[in-house]
């Protein structure tokens, strides 16, 4: 998979992809992340990519021309299944959405900045808009890093134990159950006996019960949605 990220601040995104799982994914040739500075396609020699908004109002807006030229240049190299704009009012990122996107071969991510991007880019160039939560960030870079991480770890071969991703929170519509490791007793705090019993059926049953309990307590809306799922 290749993910091309269009941004005003490529240096902000360099570190997240040079460590841990995403770095190993690139070393294995399973994921390639390329950063593209939008100012490369500036409308003048001063590097301008933004301007005041028509109708007045506070905040600058990223211009349609450099966005269009950058996306067009990338599309000459390869075909993209999705061109995604990271936006607070986009579709909320979920595990199910990350699963679907992990099946893509090529994706473009556009990071907004300032007041946003010219609406014509959203109308004519963007295929999907995604939000990482109901809050506003200074720009789309950190949201892009979150999305890449969520997608990248799902690519087959990226995780050393691929079943690990299948047991993550939200994969089955529930949050994950509690997990424990050694020592079995610490300060009088005990690991549940069932986890050390070696009885796989009982362990599986306990984990499901705990997932249901934790989801009902901590994410009641998610729990209700799970109950209503056929």
Same domain for 8 and 107: yes
Please determine, for residue 135, whether its predicted confidence score (pLDDT) is greater than 90. yes
pLDDT at 110 (0 to 100): 98
What pLDDT, on the 0 to 100 scale, is given for residue 161? 58
For residues 92 and 193, state if they share a domain. Answer: no
Please indicate, yes or no, if residue 160 is contained in any of the structural domains. no
pLDDT beyond 70 at 144? yes
How far is the C-alpha of 76 from the C-alpha of 168, rounded, in Å?
37
* Unique residue bearing structure tokens 């020592």: 183
pTM of the model: 0.89
Three-state SS annotation for 32-80:
EEEEEEHHHHCCCCCCCCEEECCCCCCCEEECHHHHHHHHHHHHCCCCC
Question: Which residue, of 124, 152, 180, is where some domain finishes?
Answer: 152
Query: Does residue 161 sit within a domain?
Result: no
Between 21 and 118, residue with greater pLDDT: 118
Distance between CA atoms of residues 63 and 123, nearest Å: 14
pLDDT value at position 35? Answer: 97
pLDDT reported for residue 168: 61
pLDDT recorded at residue 160? 67
Please indicate, yes or no, whether residues 46 and 123 belong to a single structural domain of this protein: yes
Read off the CATH number of the domain in which 198 is found: 1.10.1270.20
Structurally, how many domains does the chain consist of? 2
Q: What is the mean pLDDT of residues 174-179?
A: 91
Give me the domain span that covers residue 193: 167-228
Q: What is the pLDDT of residues 60-88, one digit of tens each?
A: 999 999 999 999 999 999 999 999 999 99
Highest-confidence segment of 123-127, 150-154, 176-180: 123-127
Whether residue 159 is contained in a domain is answered as no
In DSSP terms, 131 is beta-bridged to 92
Per-residue confidence (pLDDT) for residue 34, from 0 to 100:
97
Check residue 167 and give its pLDDT. Answer: 57
| pLDDT at 164 exceeding the cut of 80 | no
Instruction: Write the pLDDT tens digit of every residue in 12-63.
Output: 998 988 888 899 899 999 999 999 999 999 999 999 999 999 999 889 999 9
């Amino acid at each position: 998979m290749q993910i091309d990220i269009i941004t005003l601040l490529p240096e902000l995104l360099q570190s997240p992809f040079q460590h841990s799982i995403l770095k190993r994914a690139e070393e294995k040739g399973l994921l390639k992340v390329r950063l593209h500075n939008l100012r490369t396609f500036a409308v003048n020699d001063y590097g301008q990519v933004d301007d005041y908004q028509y109708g007045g109002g506070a905040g600058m807006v990223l211009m349609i021309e450099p966005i269009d030229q950058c996306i067009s240049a990338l599309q000459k190299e390869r075909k993209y299944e999705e061109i995604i704009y990271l936006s607070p009012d986009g579709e909320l990122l979920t595990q199910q959405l990350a699963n679907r996107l992990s099946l893509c071969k090529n994706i473009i991510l556009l990071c907004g900045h300032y007041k946003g991007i010219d609406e014509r880019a959203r109308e004519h160039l963007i295929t999907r808009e995604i939000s990482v939560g109901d809050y506003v960030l200074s720009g789309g870079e950190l949201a892009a890093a979150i999305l890449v991480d969520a997608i990248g770890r799902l690519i087959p071969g990226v995780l050393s134990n691929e079943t690990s991703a299948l047991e993550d929170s939200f994969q089955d519509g529930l949050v994950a159950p509690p997990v424990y490791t050694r020592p079995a007793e610490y300060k009088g705090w005990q690991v549940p006996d069932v986890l050390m019993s070696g009885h796989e059926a009982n362990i599986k049953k306990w984990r499901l019960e705990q997932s249901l309990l934790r989801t009902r307590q901590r994410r009641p809306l998610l729990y209700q949605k799970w109950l209503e799922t056929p």
